[in-house]
Structure formats: structure tokens, C-alpha cells
Amino acid sequence: MSNCIFCKIIAGEIPSMKLYEDELVYAFLDIAPINFGHVLVIPKEHHESASTIPEATAGRMMKIGTRLGIALKRALDYDAYNLHLADGKAAGQVVMHAHLHVVPRGVDDDFRWNWRQKQYADGQAADLAEKVMNKFKVSEQE
Ligand code: AMP
Ligand code: ZN
């Protein structure tokens, strides 16, 4: 994709602080980190949505993301890490080249995900589960 900022990073046309690269994925520091060391892991192939990334590449993203999370803990004294992926603008995706965030976390880092918790009414969860399963296809990539 000629006007994609992450494709340009992979091609070396825009600078990045690279942490890892192989034939499938590229990992680099997020330019505006939640905590210092915040990493992005991206497929080398351009995919807007994670749903079209081939399984081998998606698996590699998860493998490298978790390994980098461990490296962040060991190297920078973090306690944990979050993996985060926004798929679609309404979910907060700003750069439309799919990417996995690896966010290093400390017990006292003063960052809270804004995570609310609703409650299902009687029967609502079963109705909803049936609707979803009627549309669920494992083999589909869209
Ligand atoms: P998202 O909101 O999930 O699409 O996240 C996009 C992320 O890309 C943000 O955290 C940005 O800080 C990061 N970002 C945007 N441009 C660059 C860049 N040139 N180098 C590194 N990270 C970037
Ligand atoms: Zn791209």
C-alpha cells in the first residue's frame, strides 16, 4: 500500500526504532508510548484488518509479541504487559495497517484501561450467543 505509514516503515522509507524483523513480521517502538518500551508488532504484508492476516503470520505476531513482552519485563523491570489490537475505527484503530500493541505495565504505572462491565438480562446471553454462532465461520477471512 503506497500511502500506508506502516508499509513505509517496513520499506525503510520512514524511520523506526526496530526491535525485531523476520520474513513475516516487523516490530518497532511506538512513537507515542503508553509506557516507555511500548512496541507494535505488524505483519509485513499490508492488511487493514487482523481478520485477513494468514494464520502463520498471525501466530508469529502473537509469538513475537509475547516474547517481546517478556523481554520488556526483564530489561526494563516491568511487572506485566498488555496485548491490544484495535480492529476497525470504532474500536480505536487509527493506523489502518493491522498491528498488535505490546504495552509494558508496572503495578504503580497509573494507567487504567477504561473497561466498563454491563450485566445481561435473563435470557439475553443465550439469545445473543445463538445469533453470533449462526454467523460464525472459522474458515472465513474477511
Ligand atoms: P491504533 O490506535 O491502534 O491504530 O495505534 C496506532 C499507533 O501507532 C499509536 O499508538 C501511534 O502512536 C503509533 N504510531 C503512529 N505513527 C507511528 C510511527 N511513525 N512510528 C511509530 N509508531 C507510530
Ligand atoms: Zn500497510
Per-residue pLDDT band for 140 (boundaries 50, 70, 90) equals: low
- Whether pLDDT at 72 is above 60: yes
Query: pLDDT digits over 48-63, tens only?
Result: 999 999 999 999 999 9
Q: Which amino acid is at 102?
A: V
Sequence-separated (6 or more) residues with CB below 8 Å from residue 17: 28, 29
- Closest by CA to 42, choosing from 84, 18, 6, is 6
For residue 111, the model assigns a pLDDT of 94
% of the chain surpassing 90 pLDDT: 92
pTM: 0.96
| Catalytic residue, candidates 38, 47, 97, 99 | 99
C-beta 31 within 6 A of ligand 1? yes
